Amino acid sequence: MFDFEKLEVYAKAKIFNKSILAFLDESKIEKITLNQLKRAALSILLNIAEGSGRFSTKDKRNFYVIARGSAFECVAICDYLKDINMIHSGNYNQFYSALEEISKMLFALIKSLEDKS
């Protein structure tokens, strides 16, 4: 088992990715926004994985910061979709809650690495 597979935040990011993909498969969102949301959601997952494999604390922290930034990007896209009525409030609230939790978990991980610097 790889280290990232043991991280709860990785498991949550995986669940979020699956729910975003299911939502996007059923939506009629313009291609550019759809692709951006897919890429940002996947970026959370991939940066967590890549960060866990880094040897230096600084490198690990950097990838977790990028993952958190991608979570913020997903929130902004979902907010935009809500404003243009392309996402129902139930889906929006589900995604928002998941992203808020992921962001808090990544923040805690980043802070724990700062203490080791």
Q: Which residue has the tokens 């997903």?
A: 74
Q: Which residue has the tokens 């980043």?
A: 110
- Mean pLDDT across the chain: 96
Q: At what angle do helices 57-83 and 31-52 cross, to 10 degrees?
A: 160
Number of domains in the chain: 1
In a domain, 4, yes or no: no
Spatial distance between the Cα atoms of 35 and 48, rounded to a whole number of angstroms: 20
Q: Which percentage of the chain shows pLDDT scores above 70?
A: 97
In a domain, 39, yes or no: yes
CATH number at residue 74: 1.20.1440.60
Supply the range of the domain harboring residue 46: 13-114
In a domain, 68, yes or no: yes
Q: pLDDT digits over 13-49, tens only?
A: 999 999 999 999 999 999 999 999 999 999 999 999 9
Q: pLDDT at residue 94 above 90? A: yes
